[in-house]
Structure 1
Amino acid sequence: MSTDEEKQLKLNELDDLVFGAISGIAGKIVEFPFDTVKVRLQTSSNDTFNGTFDCIAKTYKNEGIAGFYKGLSSPLVGSMIENGVLFSGFSLAQHIIRKATNKSEDEPLSMAQYTLAGGIAGTGAALLLTPVELVKCKLQVQDVESLYHAKNELTSTISKTATNEIANNTVQTTPKLHYKGPFHVIYSTIKNHGLKGMYRGHMGTLIREVSGGAAWFGVYELACNYTMKSSNVSNKDDLPPWKLAVCGALAGISYNSLSFPVDVIKSKMQTEDFAVTNGKKIGQKLGKGFVTTATDIYKAGGIRAFYKGCGITIVRSVPSSGIIFVTYELLKRNFGRHEYV
């Protein structure tokens, strides 16, 4: 490869990093309320919420709109990092595969090769994403159990106790905050568990990102390839935004459908401070590792426990993933320094 080609490749990777980061911001703003509901369903006890709509209603009633955006700053940064690394990593992985198979930079890869490139990209994203997700999950679920169970206890007490007795035995309904914000989570985690504490649940993140990245990019490229053929065009730049959005939505559905059970395990591991199963804290047991966490989840709720919050996650992936890919493709189309096939 000539010096000019190497320079162009680096510029292309920089474009992918920046465009991916911007796309991540757009997608995260849309999906975060859904993500909050998902994490709360994944980590709460069976009697806290009676499903997705009950979780939404209780969150809004008790915490307002702000309750859906708890801990947004950390995942917003995380989404920038994740999508920036994913898109630039995907581009770099394609280059490596083309070089290994003696293909030119303009020659399209097979669907299997696109899928492989997506998995490689996910590996890099997982390393950077684990600490960010740990902070996000802790902020999203802190005091959820104490808040809703305390209010249930108050209602029960009112029905059984005279008003004057309640006045003398006030039930605490306002939860005490464990963390004041993202930096407090980071400080407390490192102080109590060292730097390795920030990588709690990394195995789950790694499995999710590798398998999810492979599915995300693989399905997107497959959908785009089919759409280009049916539209009689030879380049993604010729596809209208709405068709790119549909392809992106399909990619998002495939990502979450494949990786969701692993994400449940990861969320449990990262929120063990607050993890409750059937009303009993299992933090220490969860601390044994990925396999032990998965076993405990299965014993507590069977296979269904690995899909708590899956419905809303699939729903959120449609607009979120669609927006991410449309934003990325339009930025690349209008501001990129090289056209990809």
Structure 2
Amino acid sequence: MSEAEPSVTTAVSATADNVKAFVAGGFGGVCAVLVGHPFDLTKTRLQTAPSGTYTGAIDVVKKILVRDGVLGVYRGIVPPLLGVTPIFAVSFWAYDASKKLISALTKSDTLSTTQLAAAGFLSAVPSTAVTAPVERAKVLLQVQGQGLSEQKYKGVTGVLRHMYQEGGLRSVFRGSGATLARDGPGSAAYFAAYEVTKKALTPAGSSPSDLNLGSIICAGGVAGVAMWSLAIPPDVLKSRIQAAPKDTYSGILDCARKTIAQDGVAALWKGFGPAMARAFPANAATFLGSVATIYLQGIID
């Protein structure tokens, strides 16, 4: 056997692992959107509506149902459904690659919780390039028709055309800084909590990779709760920046200052209830979907 053969085999194996992480993350993301979108819509409307528009999450849902019917709770779902595969695929791929990078730098096969959190934070950097424009389109579709406002967009094509005509790529990527401010710490907590919970649920002498689906669902749900426990304030600012007319805010700090001045510090936690209600089931579905995909890939292989 030549010396080149082991390196070729290693490269092929690494590529296969990356592809599996990419596909698994994408399918897991679709599951998360289908389960969690009504909660996300409620959260976004609470975050962006003028003070006094709603009395709470239940009032948001009630008004959506009265105005738009049952399908109204899925308003704005097309952008995240179209974008969720690349978003989650890039996130899971970047997390897997970041773990390998940190492992190589530390020359350790077992990463600490802090190192896992660092890998999670790094995973948010490339995924923000996909997440920010998808979230911008989603938010604009979710908030239109809120209160007595007109419905400007008739679908994804309309909202994308509006964003680009408003200010080119700068408009399309509005809120990228706030998106990273949310997803960096959020992803750190997300992946670290998932790994720690899996380890805690693993019986002595067993491997976390052998956990049953019930444990995977639990770990995924805990990961979602951990993420959104940190992510709400930057998520509020992201939603406001992305929903507001051009030049309303000069950046995330200006948005924070104006939000606090107008509505008080408590405004930074608007939508906390729906976000936490969504966190466990949506993220349990994410990891369940990703693990099921990897399992099916193993059968096919």
TM-score where L is the length of structure 2: 0.94
Of 66-75 and 1-10, more deviation after overlay is shown by 1-10
Q: Any idea what SS the aligned residue of 2:137 has?
A: helix
Confirm whether residue 317 of structure 1 aligns to residue 279 of structure 2.
Answer: yes
Question: What is the alpha-carbon distance in structure 2 between the residues aligned to residue 198 and residue 251 of structure 1?
Answer: 29
Question: What is the alpha-carbon distance in structure 2 between the residues aligned to residue 293 and residue 119 of structure 1?
Answer: 23
Aligned to 1:127: 129
Aligned to 1:13: 18
Report runs of 4+ in structure 1 exceeding 3 Å deviation.
none
Aligned to 2:99: 94
Aligned alpha-carbon RMSD (Å): 1.5
Which residue type is aligned with residue 157 of structure 2?
F
Which residue type is aligned with residue 294 of structure 1?
A
Structure 1 unmatched ranges of 5 or more: 148-175, 274-282
Q: Any idea what SS the aligned residue of 2:55 has?
A: coil
1:145 shift after superposition? 2.7
Contact 1:127 1:206 in 2 (8 A): no
Confirm whether residue 75 of structure 1 aligns to residue 76 of structure 2.
Answer: no
**Cα distance change, pair 108–234 in 1 and its aligned pair in 2 (3 A):** farther
Confirm whether residue 242 of structure 1 aligns to residue 214 of structure 2.
Answer: yes
Aligned to 1:329: 291
Question: What is the alpha-carbon distance in structure 1 between the residues aligned to residue 168 and residue 88 of structure 2?
Answer: 27
1:336 shift after superposition? 4.0
Aligned to 1:261: 233
Structure 2 unmatched ranges of 5 or more: 1-5
Which residue type is aligned with residue 18 of structure 2?
E
Contact 2:91 2:124 in 1 (8 A): yes
Contact 1:15 1:336 in 2 (8 A): no
Aligned pair count?
294
TM-score where L is the length of structure 1: 0.83
Contact 1:220 1:251 in 2 (8 A): yes
Confirm whether residue 207 of structure 1 aligns to residue 177 of structure 2.
Answer: no
1:233 shift after superposition? 4.6
Confirm whether residue 36 of structure 1 aligns to residue 8 of structure 2.
Answer: no
Aligned to 1:300: 262
Question: What is the alpha-carbon distance in structure 1 between the residues aligned to residue 60 and residue 83 of structure 2?
Answer: 25
Contact 1:219 1:254 in 2 (8 A): yes
1:234 shift after superposition? 2.7
Which residue type is aligned with residue 123 of structure 1?
V
* Bigger Rg, which one: 1
Q: Any idea what SS the aligned residue of 2:200 has?
A: helix
Q: What is the identity percentage for the equivalent residue pairs of Structure 1 and Structure 2?
A: 28
Which residue type is aligned with residue 200 of structure 1?
R
Confirm whether residue 251 of structure 1 aligns to residue 223 of structure 2.
Answer: yes
